[in-house]
Copies of this chain bind each other. A is one copy, B any other.
């Protein structure tokens, strides 16, 4: 159809939607005691998970080299979001775990995301928002994780 919207608007709107939510999240996180958290940190901490992980494992999960994962862990450690301890069963390994501060950030993020979703629901209506989510599920990979976000751009 010649009166279809141009194809380039779709990715732009998707990105703007994503960015809008993430920016709002981090504005609110900053207000709630996490001013240093960058967008990437949330993804990484989510990948670290409550059970902890290692640099090699994290690299695999995020789709980056173990060295890159190590650097990011260092940054997060310096900011107090994660801590490292040697694995007693395998002294080569260093287990990365979320600190209470990191767990707090994750819990607050979840709450804020719910609130932001509620805001969209207020604008669009719960039905249309559900339809939007359902449609997106149809056109995106099923597994939500293994989104190698870091360094994907550029």
Residues of B within 8 A of A5 (CB): 117, 130, 133
**Distance of A123 Cα from B12 Cα, bound (Å):** 20
Asked whether A87 is an interface residue with its Cβ less than 8 Å from the other chain, the reply is no
Question: How many subunits of this chain does the assembly comprise?
Answer: 2
User: Which residues in chain A, 104-120, are within 8 Å of chain B measured between CB atoms?
Assistant: 109-110, 112-118, 120
Taking CB as reference atom, which chain B residue is nearest A8? Answer: B113
A interface, over-half SS: helix
A53, B33: Cα distance in complex, Å? 41
Q: Taking A109-B8, A131-B131 as contacts, is the C-beta distance between A15 and B149 under 8 angstroms?
A: yes
A58-74 near B? 1/0 per residue, CB < 8 Å: 00000000000000000
**Contact across chains for B10 and A21 when beta carbons are under 8 A apart:** yes
A20, chain B: closest CB distance, angstroms: 6
Is the Cβ of B153 less than 8 Å from the Cβ of A20?
no
Contact between A17 and B117, CB atoms less than 8 A apart? no
Which residues in window 21-42 of A have CB below 8 A to B?
21-22, 25, 38-40
**Can you sample 27 A-B contacts with CB below 8 Å?**
A4-B117, A4-B121, A7-B110, A7-B112, A7-B113, A7-B118, A8-B109, A8-B110, A9-B144, A10-B117, A11-B18, A11-B21, A11-B25, A11-B113, A12-B144, A13-B144, A14-B14, A14-B17, A15-B18, A15-B149, A17-B136, A19-B152, A20-B139, A124-B135, A131-B132, A132-B136, A150-B154
